Amino acid sequence: MPKDLVGIKELSKRDIGQVLDTASSFKDVLRRDIKKVPALRGKTVVNLFFEPSTRTKTSFELAEKRLSTDVLNFSVPTSSVVKGESLFDTIKTIEAYGVDFIVIRHASSGVPHFIAENVNASVINAGDGTNEHPTQALLDAFSIIEKKGTLEGLNVAIVGDIAHSRVAKSNIYLLSKFNARIRLIGPPTLIPCMEDYGVEVFYDMDEGLRGADIVMMLRIQMERQGRSFFPSTQEYFKYWGLDMKRLGLARKDALVMHPGPMNRGIEISSQAADSPQSVILDQVTNGIAVRMAVMYLLTGGEKQ
Amino acid sequence: MPEMAKELLGKKDIERILSRIAHEIIEKNKGTEDLCLIGIQRGGVHIARRLSQKIRAIENAEIPVGSLDISLYRDDLGMRKEHPVVRKTDIPCDVTDKRVVLVDDVIFTGRSIRAAMDALMDFGRPAQIQLAVLIDRGHRELPIRPDYTGKNIPTSGVESIEVQFEEDGMEDKVLIQAMG
């Protein structure tokens, strides 16, 4: 493994496979009465969140605590960033505390890469702008493999606001490395150009969903959309929302996924979100195991 | 296999040793009540399974057999070149109040056993933990001594012991060789 996890793009297929295998051992740990192991005792982690996050932050924090690390939380409203400190100085100060891991979320793409080049600690990208969210893609892959046994050859439909979605980007990078067939579905204004990754683009959701093994829904990211990309949320649901009728077009055993938080009634109906085909809550549980695996693998072994 | 490798034990020798240890376990525990065998990944798991078969043949009793991975409890994480692969841990019974026999193929520094005991304690509070090993090669760094030893093989620091198992597609064998 490299020193840092800044993106799926930078990972080899072998590294990804190793994370997924190790995560399955950590999932067993999460089923025990004592869910904590001493593997990273004495290591210190700082969670540096420059953007609001509840799920990812909670998931990382649980993973860190279950590996016996000491955890520092650093969030923007309470930090000296609001007093005008530069990112570089913030990072250098944190490094001087002697931390081993920096988990970073930032609204600007590329910030984790910048930090990784400037510190000795291992940097884990917990989402940077519209670029990548690598641990989400790893946990999605883990959740798919758990149910389907493989990624190879699966028809994966990624639906919604792909342009603003770092989750979609990381998933596209990962799935294309494992030869899944990727379909991007959404309004033309929200689909970026990603032909290099062998994706198929559908503006018509019914057409795109036909025969899909996986239906990966994305959250409409109002906060990243400076302007209107579609007329109204009602109209959005009408054309690109997942309801039971549409889900019926996918394979009978298709899985419904969503990285959360969900906008019920905007991108997904309650029935679809809560249907037996939904693995949305498995994704949450698997997220802890995958993040434990990432941290465990980044600490050990020779750095590349 | 480098030419320096020398066979210390063959299939028959291993078979006889495990039969003896099975008898010793039954004798020391006055039967098989509350007994549980837990093998340390990977070699220990094969030996634990074989011991349980032998105990079944002798006492006509079914002993639960588990496997324990100690990677997450090691004291040398980050010091090793290769990161240990985290293998499966499967503890088939509640270990609380059980007499647990930890099983490993080779005991060396004793650090693996320390890690195994810590890992086991996270699953419950055994009444007793005993230790069975196929080979004791000496060089202990911790005050740990097996209750059942297959064979004592004094080694030098530059020698290594390799135990091969049929379960891994090889012939049952214990080899000693100079480390290259």
Domain assignments of chain B as residue spans, ordered by start = 11-158
For the stretch A138-158, pLDDT in tens is 999 999 999 999 999 999 999
pLDDT of residue A1: 84
Decide the pairing of beta strands B173-178 and B6-9.
Answer: antiparallel
Average pLDDT over residues A194-207: 92
Mean pLDDT value across chain A: 92
Average pLDDT over residues A33-46: 94
pLDDT of residue A79: 64
Interface with B, mutate which of A25, A43, A292 (most B CBs under 10 A): A25
Question: CA of B149 to nearest chain A CA: how many angstroms apart?
Answer: 29
What is the rounded CA–CA span in Å between residue B94 and residue B100? Answer: 10
Q: Is A227 annotated in the active site?
A: no
pLDDT of residue B140: 95
- The DSSP secondary-structure symbol of A115 reads H
* pLDDT-wise least confident of A103-107, A212-216, A221-225, B14-18: A221-225
What is the rounded CA–CA span in Å between residue A155 and residue A147? Answer: 14
Q: Is residue A303 within 8 angstroms of chain B, CB to CB? A: no
Q: In chain A, whose CA is at the least distance from the CA of B115?
A: A38
pLDDT of residue B105: 96
State the pLDDT confidence band at A81, using cuts at 50, 70 and 90: low
pLDDT of residue A220: 86
CATH class of the domain defined by B11-158? alpha beta
The better pLDDT of the pair A225, B23 is held by B23
Domains and CATH numbers, chain A: 13-133+284-299 (3.40.50.1370), 134-279 (3.40.50.1370)
For the stretch A281-303, pLDDT in tens is 999 999 999 999 999 999 875 54
Cis peptide bond upstream of A2, omega within 30: no
CB contact under 8 A, A32 and B123: yes
Q: Is a pLDDT exceeding 80 seen at residue A263?
A: yes
Decide the pairing of beta strands A122-128 and A101-106.
Answer: parallel
Interhelix angle A13-30/A134-148, rounded to 10 degrees, is 70
Q: Is a pLDDT exceeding 90 seen at residue A227?
A: no
Q: Is a pLDDT exceeding 50 seen at residue A89?
A: yes
Helix/strand/coil for A205? helix
What is the rounded CA–CA span in Å between residue A101 and residue A259? Answer: 24
Positions in chain B short of pLDDT 50: 1
Interface with A, mutate which of B71, B86, B88 (most A CBs under 10 A): B86
pLDDT of residue A304: 42
Q: Is A83 annotated in the active site?
A: yes
Q: Which of A22, A36, A302 has the CB atom closest to B86's CB atom?
A: A22
Q: Is a pLDDT exceeding 90 seen at residue A180?
A: yes
Answer whether A279's CB lies under 8 Å from A272's CB: no
Q: Is A105 annotated in the active site?
A: yes
What is the rounded CA–CA span in Å between residue A24 and residue B126? Answer: 27
Q: In chain B, whose CA is at the least distance from the CA of A21?
A: B86
Q: In chain B, whose CA is at the least distance from the CA of A20?
A: B86
Q: Is a pLDDT exceeding 70 seen at residue A226?
A: no
Q: Which residues are bridge partners to A110 per DSSP? A: none
Answer whether B163's CB lies under 8 Å from B170's CB: no
Within 8 A by CB and 6+ apart from A93, the residues are A85
